[in-house]
Chain A
Amino acid sequence: MHGLINYGLQKFFQAVHGEDVWSRIVARGHLPRDGFEPMLSYDDRLTDAMLAAAETELGERREGFLEDFGTFLVAHPLCRPVRRLLRFGGESYEDFLHSVEELGDRARLALPDLDLPQLVLEEAGAGRYAVRCRWCRPGFVPAIVGILRALADDYGALVLVEADKEARDGREGKIAVTLLDGTFASGRAFSLGVLREGSEAETG
Protein backbone atom coordinates (compact mmCIF):
# COMPACT_ATOMS: atom_id res chain seq x y z
CA MET A 1 0.00 0.00 0.00
CA HIS A 2 1.27 3.45 -0.86
CA GLY A 3 2.31 5.25 2.30
CA LEU A 4 0.20 8.25 1.31
CA ILE A 5 -2.99 6.28 1.93
CA ASN A 6 -1.82 4.92 5.27
CA TYR A 7 -0.61 8.39 6.20
CA GLY A 8 -3.97 9.88 5.23
CA LEU A 9 -5.78 7.37 7.44
CA GLN A 10 -3.38 8.12 10.29
CA LYS A 11 -3.99 11.87 9.99
CA PHE A 12 -7.72 11.19 9.90
CA PHE A 13 -7.65 9.14 13.12
CA GLN A 14 -5.42 11.71 14.81
CA ALA A 15 -7.37 14.80 13.73
CA VAL A 16 -10.91 13.46 14.00
CA HIS A 17 -10.65 10.88 16.80
CA GLY A 18 -7.68 12.21 18.75
CA GLU A 19 -4.08 11.28 19.53
CA ASP A 20 -5.12 8.89 22.32
CA VAL A 21 -7.23 6.83 19.97
CA TRP A 22 -4.44 6.83 17.42
CA SER A 23 -1.82 5.62 19.90
CA ARG A 24 -4.17 2.80 20.94
CA ILE A 25 -4.65 1.86 17.28
CA VAL A 26 -0.86 1.84 16.86
CA ALA A 27 -0.43 -0.43 19.89
CA ARG A 28 -3.26 -2.78 18.99
CA GLY A 29 -2.34 -3.03 15.32
CA HIS A 30 1.45 -3.24 15.92
CA LEU A 31 1.89 -0.29 13.55
CA PRO A 32 5.14 1.72 13.15
CA ARG A 33 5.64 3.66 16.38
CA ASP A 34 6.46 6.91 14.57
CA GLY A 35 3.48 6.54 12.23
CA PHE A 36 3.47 6.21 8.46
CA GLU A 37 5.60 8.09 5.96
CA PRO A 38 3.63 9.37 2.97
CA MET A 39 6.50 8.80 0.55
CA LEU A 40 7.25 5.18 1.45
CA SER A 41 5.47 1.94 0.64
CA TYR A 42 4.08 -0.45 3.25
CA ASP A 43 2.92 -4.03 3.33
CA ASP A 44 -0.84 -4.23 2.73
CA ARG A 45 -1.16 -6.19 5.97
CA LEU A 46 -0.33 -3.04 7.93
CA THR A 47 -3.33 -1.25 6.40
CA ASP A 48 -5.54 -4.22 7.27
CA ALA A 49 -4.15 -4.24 10.80
CA MET A 50 -4.80 -0.50 11.14
CA LEU A 51 -8.42 -0.80 10.00
CA ALA A 52 -9.06 -3.85 12.20
CA ALA A 53 -7.56 -2.09 15.24
CA ALA A 54 -9.62 1.03 14.49
CA GLU A 55 -12.82 -1.01 14.35
CA THR A 56 -12.12 -2.31 17.84
CA GLU A 57 -11.00 1.04 19.27
CA LEU A 58 -13.85 3.05 17.75
CA GLY A 59 -16.45 0.32 18.28
CA GLU A 60 -17.61 0.91 14.73
CA ARG A 61 -17.43 -1.08 11.51
CA ARG A 62 -15.06 0.28 8.90
CA GLU A 63 -17.71 1.43 6.43
CA GLY A 64 -18.78 4.02 8.99
CA PHE A 65 -15.44 5.62 9.62
CA LEU A 66 -14.19 5.15 6.07
CA GLU A 67 -17.00 7.35 4.83
CA ASP A 68 -15.91 9.93 7.41
CA PHE A 69 -12.40 9.49 6.04
CA GLY A 70 -13.67 10.37 2.55
CA THR A 71 -15.31 13.51 3.97
CA PHE A 72 -12.09 14.33 5.83
CA LEU A 73 -10.06 14.13 2.60
CA VAL A 74 -12.23 16.80 0.99
CA ALA A 75 -13.29 19.01 3.86
CA HIS A 76 -10.53 19.05 6.48
CA PRO A 77 -8.01 21.92 6.34
CA LEU A 78 -5.18 19.38 6.68
CA CYS A 79 -6.21 17.90 3.33
CA ARG A 80 -6.33 21.14 1.39
CA PRO A 81 -4.02 19.80 -1.32
CA VAL A 82 -6.26 16.76 -1.85
CA ARG A 83 -9.35 18.91 -2.19
CA ARG A 84 -7.58 21.21 -4.62
CA LEU A 85 -6.38 18.36 -6.75
CA LEU A 86 -9.91 16.91 -6.85
CA ARG A 87 -11.40 20.26 -7.79
CA PHE A 88 -9.12 20.45 -10.81
CA GLY A 89 -11.54 17.88 -12.24
CA GLY A 90 -13.97 20.51 -13.39
CA GLU A 91 -15.95 23.68 -13.04
CA SER A 92 -19.13 22.08 -11.72
CA TYR A 93 -20.04 18.93 -9.82
CA GLU A 94 -21.26 17.47 -13.08
CA ASP A 95 -17.91 18.24 -14.73
CA PHE A 96 -16.23 16.60 -11.76
CA LEU A 97 -18.35 13.46 -12.16
CA HIS A 98 -17.28 13.28 -15.77
CA SER A 99 -13.65 13.58 -14.72
CA VAL A 100 -13.66 10.71 -12.19
CA GLU A 101 -12.42 8.30 -14.83
CA GLU A 102 -9.28 10.44 -15.17
CA LEU A 103 -8.72 10.56 -11.42
CA GLY A 104 -6.38 7.56 -11.29
CA ASP A 105 -4.37 8.83 -14.27
CA ARG A 106 -4.17 12.27 -12.72
CA ALA A 107 -2.91 10.82 -9.46
CA ARG A 108 -0.29 8.81 -11.34
CA LEU A 109 0.91 11.96 -13.09
CA ALA A 110 1.85 13.24 -9.65
CA LEU A 111 2.90 9.96 -8.04
CA PRO A 112 3.59 7.21 -10.57
CA ASP A 113 3.36 4.41 -8.00
CA LEU A 114 0.10 5.55 -6.42
CA ASP A 115 -2.66 3.07 -7.17
CA LEU A 116 -6.14 4.50 -6.59
CA PRO A 117 -9.56 2.91 -7.05
CA GLN A 118 -10.66 2.75 -10.69
CA LEU A 119 -13.82 4.74 -11.18
CA VAL A 120 -16.14 4.58 -14.18
CA LEU A 121 -19.10 6.89 -14.69
CA GLU A 122 -22.39 5.64 -16.05
CA GLU A 123 -25.00 8.17 -17.12
CA ALA A 124 -28.70 7.30 -16.88
CA GLY A 125 -30.07 10.73 -17.85
CA ALA A 126 -32.09 13.28 -15.88
CA GLY A 127 -29.22 13.90 -13.47
CA ARG A 128 -28.91 10.25 -12.53
CA TYR A 129 -25.46 8.70 -12.54
CA ALA A 130 -23.71 5.65 -11.24
CA VAL A 131 -20.05 5.52 -10.29
CA ARG A 132 -18.57 2.03 -10.53
CA CYS A 133 -15.54 1.50 -8.31
CA ARG A 134 -13.03 -1.26 -8.42
CA TRP A 135 -9.88 -1.64 -6.37
CA CYS A 136 -7.38 -4.22 -5.28
CA ARG A 137 -8.34 -3.55 -1.66
CA PRO A 138 -11.77 -4.59 -0.43
CA GLY A 139 -14.07 -2.35 1.57
CA PHE A 140 -13.05 1.10 0.34
CA VAL A 141 -16.28 1.97 -1.45
CA PRO A 142 -17.58 3.92 1.59
CA ALA A 143 -14.56 6.22 1.38
CA ILE A 144 -15.51 7.05 -2.23
CA VAL A 145 -19.07 7.72 -1.05
CA GLY A 146 -17.68 10.13 1.52
CA ILE A 147 -15.59 11.93 -1.11
CA LEU A 148 -18.53 12.23 -3.53
CA ARG A 149 -20.80 13.62 -0.79
CA ALA A 150 -18.27 16.09 0.58
CA LEU A 151 -17.33 17.33 -2.88
CA ALA A 152 -21.01 18.01 -3.60
CA ASP A 153 -20.98 20.34 -0.59
CA ASP A 154 -17.76 21.86 -1.81
CA TYR A 155 -19.29 22.61 -5.22
CA GLY A 156 -22.56 23.73 -3.65
CA ALA A 157 -24.47 21.00 -5.44
CA LEU A 158 -27.46 19.18 -3.97
CA VAL A 159 -27.00 15.45 -4.58
CA LEU A 160 -28.03 12.07 -3.25
CA VAL A 161 -25.16 9.61 -3.00
CA GLU A 162 -25.96 6.03 -2.09
CA ALA A 163 -23.83 2.90 -2.34
CA ASP A 164 -25.44 -0.35 -3.34
CA LYS A 165 -25.79 -2.50 -0.26
CA GLU A 166 -23.90 -5.46 -1.69
CA ALA A 167 -21.04 -3.11 -2.64
CA ARG A 168 -20.04 -2.33 0.92
CA ASP A 169 -17.47 -5.03 1.54
CA GLY A 170 -16.21 -6.08 -1.84
CA ARG A 171 -13.50 -4.96 -4.19
CA GLU A 172 -16.15 -3.72 -6.60
CA GLY A 173 -19.09 -1.49 -5.96
CA LYS A 174 -21.61 0.76 -7.56
CA ILE A 175 -22.55 4.14 -6.15
CA ALA A 176 -25.72 5.87 -7.29
CA VAL A 177 -25.42 9.64 -7.60
CA THR A 178 -28.52 11.75 -8.22
CA LEU A 179 -27.89 15.38 -9.03
CA LEU A 180 -30.88 17.35 -7.78
CA ASP A 181 -29.50 20.83 -8.18
CA GLY A 182 -26.03 21.60 -9.50
CA THR A 183 -25.97 25.12 -8.08
CA PHE A 184 -27.98 24.70 -4.88
CA ALA A 185 -25.54 26.76 -2.81
CA SER A 186 -22.60 28.92 -3.77
CA GLY A 187 -20.00 26.37 -2.71
CA ARG A 188 -16.40 27.09 -1.87
CA ALA A 189 -14.30 29.21 -4.19
CA PHE A 190 -11.74 27.51 -6.33
CA SER A 191 -9.25 28.89 -8.79
CA LEU A 192 -6.46 27.28 -10.74
CA GLY A 193 -2.86 27.87 -9.94
CA VAL A 194 -0.95 27.78 -6.70
CA LEU A 195 -2.69 30.09 -4.32
CA ARG A 196 -1.50 32.43 -1.68
CA GLU A 197 -2.64 31.50 1.80
CA GLY A 198 -6.19 32.63 2.55
CA SER A 199 -7.03 33.75 -0.96
CA GLU A 200 -9.67 31.05 -1.26
CA ALA A 201 -12.46 32.18 1.03
CA GLU A 202 -15.36 30.04 2.16
CA THR A 203 -18.41 31.40 0.51
CA GLY A 204 -21.05 28.81 1.21
Chain B
Amino acid sequence: MHATAESGADDRGTAKEPVLQVPMAAFDRLAPISLWALTDGTITHAGPTLGKIVRQDLAGQDLFALFDFRQPRNLSTLEAIPPAGLRVLLRLRADPAIGFRGLALPIGGQVFMQLAAGVSLLEHLGAFALTAADFSPADLTSEILYLLEAQAAVLKQSRDLNRRLEEARARARKQALTDPLTGLWNRRAMLDLLETLIAARKPEPFALMQIDLDHFKRVNDTLGHAAGDHVLRQVADILQSETRREDLVARIGGDEFVLIFRSVTDPGDIDAIARRIIARLEEPIPFEGHECRISASIGTTFSQHYTHLDVDRLLEDADVATYASKRAGRGCHHIYSPRLREGGAAPPPERAS
Protein backbone atom coordinates (compact mmCIF):
# COMPACT_ATOMS: atom_id res chain seq x y z
CA MET B 1 0.00 0.00 0.00
CA HIS B 2 1.15 3.47 -0.70
CA ALA B 3 1.42 6.10 1.93
CA THR B 4 -1.35 8.14 0.32
CA ALA B 5 -3.78 5.30 0.87
CA GLU B 6 -2.92 5.10 4.53
CA SER B 7 -3.32 8.80 5.03
CA GLY B 8 -6.74 8.67 3.36
CA ALA B 9 -8.33 7.89 6.70
CA ASP B 10 -12.13 7.78 6.94
CA ASP B 11 -12.30 10.50 9.53
CA ARG B 12 -10.77 13.10 7.31
CA GLY B 13 -13.67 13.19 4.85
CA THR B 14 -14.43 16.79 5.82
CA ALA B 15 -10.95 18.11 4.90
CA LYS B 16 -10.87 21.02 2.44
CA GLU B 17 -8.99 19.12 -0.27
CA PRO B 18 -9.29 15.52 -1.48
CA VAL B 19 -7.18 13.31 0.71
CA LEU B 20 -6.12 11.05 -2.12
CA GLN B 21 -3.51 12.82 -4.18
CA VAL B 22 -4.13 11.14 -7.53
CA PRO B 23 -3.95 12.93 -10.87
CA MET B 24 -7.49 13.14 -12.29
CA ALA B 25 -6.43 11.43 -15.56
CA ALA B 26 -5.24 8.40 -13.62
CA PHE B 27 -8.33 8.51 -11.44
CA ASP B 28 -10.49 8.48 -14.56
CA ARG B 29 -8.90 5.12 -15.48
CA LEU B 30 -9.77 3.81 -12.05
CA ALA B 31 -13.34 5.06 -12.12
CA PRO B 32 -14.31 5.86 -15.73
CA ILE B 33 -17.99 5.84 -14.83
CA SER B 34 -18.04 8.32 -11.99
CA LEU B 35 -18.72 11.96 -11.19
CA TRP B 36 -17.83 14.67 -8.70
CA ALA B 37 -20.34 17.27 -7.60
CA LEU B 38 -20.69 20.14 -5.16
CA THR B 39 -23.22 19.61 -2.39
CA ASP B 40 -25.74 21.77 -4.29
CA GLY B 41 -25.59 19.30 -7.16
CA THR B 42 -23.34 21.18 -9.58
CA ILE B 43 -21.19 18.60 -11.38
CA THR B 44 -17.48 19.49 -11.28
CA HIS B 45 -16.05 16.51 -13.11
CA ALA B 46 -17.28 13.32 -14.83
CA GLY B 47 -15.44 10.16 -15.83
CA PRO B 48 -14.95 9.79 -19.61
CA THR B 49 -17.11 6.68 -20.04
CA LEU B 50 -20.01 8.29 -18.20
CA GLY B 51 -19.74 11.21 -20.62
CA LYS B 52 -19.89 8.79 -23.59
CA ILE B 53 -22.96 7.04 -22.25
CA VAL B 54 -24.97 10.18 -21.47
CA ARG B 55 -23.56 11.81 -24.63
CA GLN B 56 -22.81 15.21 -23.19
CA ASP B 57 -20.26 17.20 -21.26
CA LEU B 58 -21.41 16.97 -17.68
CA ALA B 59 -19.10 19.50 -16.00
CA GLY B 60 -21.07 22.54 -14.80
CA GLN B 61 -24.48 20.88 -15.18
CA ASP B 62 -27.01 20.30 -12.44
CA LEU B 63 -26.93 16.65 -11.30
CA PHE B 64 -30.57 16.70 -10.19
CA ALA B 65 -31.82 18.25 -13.42
CA LEU B 66 -30.06 15.52 -15.43
CA PHE B 67 -30.73 12.53 -13.23
CA ASP B 68 -33.75 11.19 -11.43
CA PHE B 69 -32.74 9.54 -8.15
CA ARG B 70 -34.63 6.31 -7.54
CA GLN B 71 -32.71 5.50 -4.35
CA PRO B 72 -32.92 7.48 -2.19
CA ARG B 73 -36.18 8.60 -3.77
CA ASN B 74 -36.14 12.17 -5.06
CA LEU B 75 -32.79 13.06 -3.54
CA SER B 76 -32.38 16.80 -4.12
CA THR B 77 -29.27 17.78 -2.20
CA LEU B 78 -25.94 16.16 -1.47
CA GLU B 79 -25.49 17.87 1.87
CA ALA B 80 -26.56 14.94 4.04
CA ILE B 81 -24.49 12.15 2.47
CA PRO B 82 -23.07 10.20 5.42
CA PRO B 83 -19.27 9.89 5.69
CA ALA B 84 -19.50 6.13 5.13
CA GLY B 85 -21.30 6.73 1.84
CA LEU B 86 -24.80 6.20 0.47
CA ARG B 87 -26.03 3.65 -2.01
CA VAL B 88 -27.62 5.38 -5.01
CA LEU B 89 -29.72 4.34 -8.00
CA LEU B 90 -30.25 6.99 -10.66
CA ARG B 91 -31.69 7.28 -14.13
CA LEU B 92 -31.10 9.75 -16.88
CA ARG B 93 -34.24 11.88 -17.10
CA ALA B 94 -33.91 12.16 -20.89
CA ASP B 95 -33.72 8.34 -21.31
CA PRO B 96 -34.83 6.27 -18.32
CA ALA B 97 -33.25 3.11 -19.83
CA ILE B 98 -29.90 4.67 -18.99
CA GLY B 99 -29.63 3.81 -15.33
CA PHE B 100 -26.70 3.53 -12.94
CA ARG B 101 -26.06 2.20 -9.50
CA GLY B 102 -23.24 3.07 -7.21
CA LEU B 103 -21.96 4.73 -4.10
CA ALA B 104 -21.99 8.43 -3.19
CA LEU B 105 -19.20 9.40 -0.83
CA PRO B 106 -18.28 12.81 0.57
CA ILE B 107 -14.61 13.51 -0.23
CA GLY B 108 -12.83 16.78 0.28
CA GLY B 109 -15.95 18.90 0.51
CA GLN B 110 -17.45 17.45 -2.66
CA VAL B 111 -19.42 14.30 -3.29
CA PHE B 112 -17.88 11.55 -5.38
CA MET B 113 -20.13 8.99 -7.04
CA GLN B 114 -18.63 5.78 -8.28
CA LEU B 115 -21.14 4.26 -10.69
CA ALA B 116 -21.70 1.12 -12.73
CA ALA B 117 -24.13 0.31 -15.52
CA GLY B 118 -27.53 -0.63 -14.15
CA VAL B 119 -29.19 -3.82 -15.36
CA SER B 120 -31.44 -1.99 -17.80
CA LEU B 121 -28.44 -0.20 -19.28
CA LEU B 122 -26.51 -3.41 -19.96
CA GLU B 123 -28.69 -4.47 -22.86
CA HIS B 124 -28.43 -1.01 -24.42
CA LEU B 125 -24.66 -0.60 -24.06
CA GLY B 126 -24.13 -1.94 -27.59
CA ALA B 127 -25.45 1.35 -28.93
CA PHE B 128 -22.58 3.35 -27.39
CA ALA B 129 -19.65 1.81 -29.31
CA LEU B 130 -17.75 1.20 -26.09
CA THR B 131 -14.53 -0.79 -25.97
CA ALA B 132 -12.69 -2.56 -23.17
CA ALA B 133 -10.67 0.65 -22.63
CA ASP B 134 -13.84 2.36 -21.49
CA PHE B 135 -14.01 0.16 -18.41
CA SER B 136 -11.63 -0.41 -15.56
CA PRO B 137 -9.86 -3.74 -16.08
CA ALA B 138 -11.26 -4.65 -12.65
CA ASP B 139 -14.83 -4.02 -13.83
CA LEU B 140 -16.68 -7.12 -15.02
CA THR B 141 -19.14 -5.15 -17.18
CA SER B 142 -17.39 -6.25 -20.36
CA GLU B 143 -17.64 -9.87 -19.21
CA ILE B 144 -21.36 -9.40 -18.69
CA LEU B 145 -21.63 -7.98 -22.19
CA TYR B 146 -19.71 -11.00 -23.50
CA LEU B 147 -22.09 -13.31 -21.65
CA LEU B 148 -25.17 -11.54 -22.96
CA GLU B 149 -23.88 -11.88 -26.50
CA ALA B 150 -22.77 -15.49 -26.08
CA GLN B 151 -26.08 -16.37 -24.49
CA ALA B 152 -28.01 -14.77 -27.34
CA ALA B 153 -25.98 -16.76 -29.87
CA VAL B 154 -26.51 -20.01 -27.99
CA LEU B 155 -30.20 -19.31 -27.57
CA LYS B 156 -30.57 -18.72 -31.29
CA GLN B 157 -28.89 -22.05 -32.04
CA SER B 158 -31.16 -23.80 -29.55
CA ARG B 159 -34.23 -22.23 -31.08
CA ASP B 160 -33.10 -23.23 -34.57
CA LEU B 161 -32.52 -26.78 -33.37
CA ASN B 162 -35.96 -26.91 -31.77
CA ARG B 163 -37.56 -25.65 -34.95
CA ARG B 164 -35.78 -28.26 -37.07
CA LEU B 165 -36.72 -31.04 -34.65
CA GLU B 166 -40.32 -29.87 -34.61
CA GLU B 167 -40.44 -29.89 -38.41
CA ALA B 168 -38.93 -33.37 -38.51
CA ARG B 169 -41.44 -34.54 -35.93
CA ALA B 170 -44.35 -33.06 -37.90
CA ARG B 171 -43.05 -34.73 -41.08
CA ALA B 172 -42.66 -38.08 -39.36
CA ARG B 173 -46.13 -37.78 -37.85
CA LYS B 174 -47.65 -36.93 -41.20
CA GLN B 175 -45.89 -39.92 -42.78
CA ALA B 176 -47.04 -42.18 -39.97
CA LEU B 177 -50.66 -41.09 -40.31
CA THR B 178 -51.23 -40.91 -44.04
CA ASP B 179 -51.71 -43.42 -46.84
CA PRO B 180 -48.91 -42.82 -49.34
CA LEU B 181 -50.97 -43.87 -52.40
CA THR B 182 -53.98 -41.61 -51.93
CA GLY B 183 -52.76 -39.02 -49.43
CA LEU B 184 -55.79 -39.86 -47.26
CA TRP B 185 -55.42 -40.52 -43.54
CA ASN B 186 -54.64 -44.09 -42.58
CA ARG B 187 -56.18 -46.49 -40.06
CA ARG B 188 -54.03 -45.17 -37.23
CA ALA B 189 -55.09 -41.58 -37.84
CA MET B 190 -58.73 -42.70 -37.97
CA LEU B 191 -58.37 -44.55 -34.63
CA ASP B 192 -56.62 -41.51 -33.12
CA LEU B 193 -59.53 -39.24 -34.03
CA LEU B 194 -62.13 -41.75 -32.82
CA GLU B 195 -60.36 -42.07 -29.48
CA THR B 196 -60.06 -38.31 -29.16
CA LEU B 197 -63.74 -37.81 -29.93
CA ILE B 198 -64.74 -40.48 -27.42
CA ALA B 199 -62.41 -39.19 -24.69
CA ALA B 200 -63.55 -35.58 -25.06
CA ARG B 201 -64.98 -34.20 -21.83
CA LYS B 202 -67.85 -32.65 -23.75
CA PRO B 203 -68.55 -35.29 -26.38
CA GLU B 204 -69.31 -34.07 -29.87
CA PRO B 205 -71.74 -36.26 -31.86
CA PHE B 206 -70.42 -37.85 -35.03
CA ALA B 207 -71.29 -40.36 -37.73
CA LEU B 208 -68.94 -43.22 -38.57
CA MET B 209 -69.28 -44.40 -42.17
CA GLN B 210 -67.58 -47.46 -43.65
CA ILE B 211 -67.26 -47.77 -47.42
CA ASP B 212 -66.24 -51.03 -49.11
CA LEU B 213 -65.64 -50.74 -52.84
CA ASP B 214 -67.49 -53.29 -54.96
CA HIS B 215 -65.91 -54.89 -58.03
CA PHE B 216 -62.55 -53.32 -57.26
CA LYS B 217 -60.81 -56.72 -57.33
CA ARG B 218 -62.09 -57.20 -60.87
CA VAL B 219 -60.44 -53.92 -61.98
CA ASN B 220 -57.18 -54.99 -60.43
CA ASP B 221 -57.34 -58.49 -61.91
CA THR B 222 -58.31 -57.50 -65.44
CA LEU B 223 -56.55 -54.14 -65.95
CA GLY B 224 -53.65 -54.45 -63.54
CA HIS B 225 -52.40 -52.69 -60.44
CA ALA B 226 -51.76 -49.41 -62.22
CA ALA B 227 -55.47 -49.25 -63.05
CA GLY B 228 -56.33 -50.20 -59.46
CA ASP B 229 -54.09 -47.46 -58.08
CA HIS B 230 -55.62 -44.96 -60.48
CA VAL B 231 -59.14 -45.93 -59.36
CA LEU B 232 -58.18 -45.62 -55.69
CA ARG B 233 -56.86 -42.10 -56.27
CA GLN B 234 -60.08 -41.15 -58.07
CA VAL B 235 -62.12 -42.59 -55.20
CA ALA B 236 -60.03 -40.54 -52.74
CA ASP B 237 -60.78 -37.36 -54.73
CA ILE B 238 -64.49 -38.11 -54.78
CA LEU B 239 -64.64 -38.87 -51.03
CA GLN B 240 -62.76 -35.71 -50.19
CA SER B 241 -64.99 -33.58 -52.38
CA GLU B 242 -68.09 -35.02 -50.62
CA THR B 243 -66.83 -34.20 -47.13
CA ARG B 244 -66.05 -31.03 -45.20
CA ARG B 245 -62.68 -29.88 -43.92
CA GLU B 246 -63.40 -30.97 -40.37
CA ASP B 247 -64.45 -34.49 -41.41
CA LEU B 248 -61.96 -37.33 -41.73
CA VAL B 249 -61.47 -39.55 -44.77
CA ALA B 250 -59.23 -42.57 -44.18
CA ARG B 251 -58.19 -45.52 -46.28
CA ILE B 252 -58.00 -48.37 -43.80
CA GLY B 253 -57.46 -51.32 -46.11
CA GLY B 254 -57.00 -52.22 -49.80
CA ASP B 255 -60.49 -51.12 -50.87
CA GLU B 256 -61.95 -50.09 -47.51
CA PHE B 257 -62.50 -46.53 -46.39
CA VAL B 258 -63.82 -44.94 -43.22
CA LEU B 259 -65.35 -41.48 -43.05
CA ILE B 260 -66.02 -39.64 -39.81
CA PHE B 261 -68.57 -36.81 -40.06
CA ARG B 262 -68.28 -34.50 -37.09
CA SER B 263 -71.29 -32.91 -35.40
CA VAL B 264 -73.68 -34.77 -37.69
CA THR B 265 -76.73 -36.45 -36.19
CA ASP B 266 -79.34 -36.51 -38.96
CA PRO B 267 -79.66 -39.92 -40.66
CA GLY B 268 -81.33 -38.23 -43.62
CA ASP B 269 -78.30 -36.04 -44.30
CA ILE B 270 -75.92 -38.98 -44.05
CA ASP B 271 -78.08 -41.14 -46.31
CA ALA B 272 -78.12 -38.38 -48.93
CA ILE B 273 -74.33 -38.11 -48.80
CA ALA B 274 -73.93 -41.90 -49.06
CA ARG B 275 -76.20 -42.08 -52.08
CA ARG B 276 -74.34 -39.23 -53.74
CA ILE B 277 -71.03 -41.01 -53.11
CA ILE B 278 -72.38 -44.25 -54.60
CA ALA B 279 -73.69 -42.41 -57.64
CA ARG B 280 -70.37 -40.73 -58.26
CA LEU B 281 -68.36 -43.93 -57.69
CA GLU B 282 -70.55 -45.76 -60.21
CA GLU B 283 -69.63 -43.32 -62.96
CA PRO B 284 -67.11 -45.09 -65.24
CA ILE B 285 -63.49 -44.13 -64.51
CA PRO B 286 -61.47 -43.97 -67.73
CA PHE B 287 -57.99 -45.52 -67.65
CA GLU B 288 -55.76 -45.92 -70.73
CA GLY B 289 -58.64 -46.45 -73.11
CA HIS B 290 -60.60 -48.68 -70.73
CA GLU B 291 -63.48 -47.88 -68.46
CA CYS B 292 -63.22 -49.00 -64.87
CA ARG B 293 -66.57 -49.63 -63.24
CA ILE B 294 -66.96 -49.95 -59.51
CA SER B 295 -69.59 -49.30 -56.87
CA ALA B 296 -69.68 -49.25 -53.09
CA SER B 297 -71.44 -50.83 -50.13
CA ILE B 298 -71.82 -48.39 -47.31
CA GLY B 299 -72.77 -48.69 -43.64
CA THR B 300 -73.04 -45.95 -41.02
CA THR B 301 -73.48 -45.78 -37.27
CA PHE B 302 -74.16 -42.69 -35.13
CA SER B 303 -72.43 -41.91 -31.85
CA GLN B 304 -75.60 -40.58 -30.25
CA HIS B 305 -77.14 -44.09 -30.32
CA TYR B 306 -74.75 -45.32 -27.62
CA THR B 307 -74.80 -44.69 -23.91
CA HIS B 308 -71.23 -45.93 -23.66
CA LEU B 309 -68.91 -45.25 -26.60
CA ASP B 310 -66.34 -47.86 -27.52
CA VAL B 311 -64.10 -47.75 -30.60
CA ASP B 312 -64.28 -51.47 -31.35
CA ARG B 313 -68.01 -51.54 -30.95
CA LEU B 314 -68.51 -48.54 -33.27
CA LEU B 315 -66.29 -50.06 -35.96
CA GLU B 316 -68.00 -53.42 -35.66
CA ASP B 317 -71.45 -51.88 -36.00
CA ALA B 318 -70.41 -49.85 -39.05
CA ASP B 319 -69.08 -53.12 -40.49
CA VAL B 320 -72.38 -54.91 -39.78
CA ALA B 321 -74.25 -52.13 -41.59
CA THR B 322 -71.85 -52.36 -44.54
CA TYR B 323 -72.39 -56.14 -44.79
CA ALA B 324 -76.11 -55.50 -44.75
CA SER B 325 -75.61 -53.34 -47.86
CA LYS B 326 -73.59 -56.10 -49.51
CA ARG B 327 -76.29 -58.64 -48.67
CA ALA B 328 -78.87 -56.29 -50.11
CA GLY B 329 -77.11 -56.47 -53.47
CA ARG B 330 -74.31 -53.87 -53.13
CA GLY B 331 -74.34 -50.26 -54.29
CA CYS B 332 -76.49 -49.18 -51.35
CA HIS B 333 -76.34 -47.71 -47.84
CA HIS B 334 -77.55 -49.01 -44.47
CA ILE B 335 -77.64 -47.28 -41.12
CA TYR B 336 -76.81 -49.60 -38.23
CA SER B 337 -79.52 -50.92 -36.01
CA PRO B 338 -79.49 -54.11 -33.90
CA ARG B 339 -82.02 -55.62 -36.30
CA LEU B 340 -79.30 -55.86 -38.96
CA ARG B 341 -77.55 -58.44 -36.79
CA GLU B 342 -80.66 -60.61 -36.90
CA GLY B 343 -80.51 -60.81 -40.68
CA GLY B 344 -78.00 -63.67 -40.27
CA ALA B 345 -75.71 -64.87 -37.55
CA ALA B 346 -72.71 -64.45 -39.79
CA PRO B 347 -72.43 -62.19 -42.80
CA PRO B 348 -73.05 -64.23 -45.96
CA PRO B 349 -69.98 -64.95 -48.10
CA GLU B 350 -69.29 -62.46 -50.83
CA ARG B 351 -70.94 -63.40 -54.08
CA ALA B 352 -68.96 -63.18 -57.23
CA SER B 353 -70.67 -60.66 -59.44
Which residues of chain A have a CB within 8 Å of any CB of chain B?
4, 37-40, 81, 84-85, 88, 90-91, 95, 106, 109-111, 190-196, 199
- CB of B161 within 8 A of CB of A192, answer no
Given contacts A84-B149, A91-B133, contact A193 B127 (CB under 8 A): yes
Given contacts A38-B157, A40-B161, A91-B131, contact A194 B147 (CB under 8 A): no
- CB of A191 within 8 A of CB of B148, answer no
> Which chain A residues lie closer than 8 Å to B124 at the CB level?
193
Nearest CB in chain A: distance from B348 CB, A: 53
Interface of A is mostly: loop
Is B132 in contact with chain A by the CB < 8 A criterion? yes
Nearest CB in chain A: distance from B132 CB, A: 5
A-B contact pairs, 16 of them (CB 8 A): A37-B161, A38-B161, A91-B132, A91-B133, A106-B150, A111-B150, A190-B131, A191-B126, A191-B131, A192-B125, A193-B130, A193-B145, A193-B149, A194-B149, A195-B126, A196-B127
Task: Report the bound CA distance from A190 to B161 in whole Å.
Answer: 29
Closest-by-CB residue of A relative to B122 is A193
Nearest CB in chain B: distance from A56 CB, A: 29
**Quick one: which of A90, A106, A110 contacts B154, CB cutoff 8 A?**
A110
Task: Report the bound CA distance from A17 to B157 in whole Å.
Answer: 24
B interface residue count range (under 10 / 10 to 19 / 20 to 34 / 35 or more) = 20 to 34
Known A38-B157, A39-B157, A81-B150; 5 more pairs at CB < 8 Å:
A88-B149, A106-B146, A193-B126, A194-B126, A194-B145
Is B304 in contact with chain A by the CB < 8 A criterion? no
Closest-by-CB residue of A relative to B130 is A192
- CB of B145 within 8 A of CB of A111, answer no
> Which chain B residues lie closer than 8 Å to A192 at the CB level?
125-126, 130-132, 134, 142, 145-146
Given contacts A193-B125, A194-B126, contact A81 B161 (CB under 8 A): no
> Which chain A residues lie closer than 8 Å to B147 at the CB level?
109-110
Is B170 in contact with chain A by the CB < 8 A criterion? no
- CB of B126 within 8 A of CB of A85, answer no
Closest-by-CB residue of B relative to A194 is B126
> Which chain B residues lie closer than 8 Å to A84 at the CB level?
149
**Quick one: which of B130, B133, B145, B153 contacts A110, CB cutoff 8 A?**
B153
Residue among B124, B133, B154 with the most chain A CB within 10 A? Answer: B154
Closest-by-CB residue of A relative to B162 is A39
- CB of B152 within 8 A of CB of A194, answer yes
Is B4 in contact with chain A by the CB < 8 A criterion? no
Is B27 in contact with chain A by the CB < 8 A criterion? no
- CB of A90 within 8 A of CB of B161, answer no
Task: Report the bound CA distance from A40 to B165 in whole Å.
Answer: 12
Task: Report the bound CA distance from A16 to B161 in whole Å.
Answer: 24
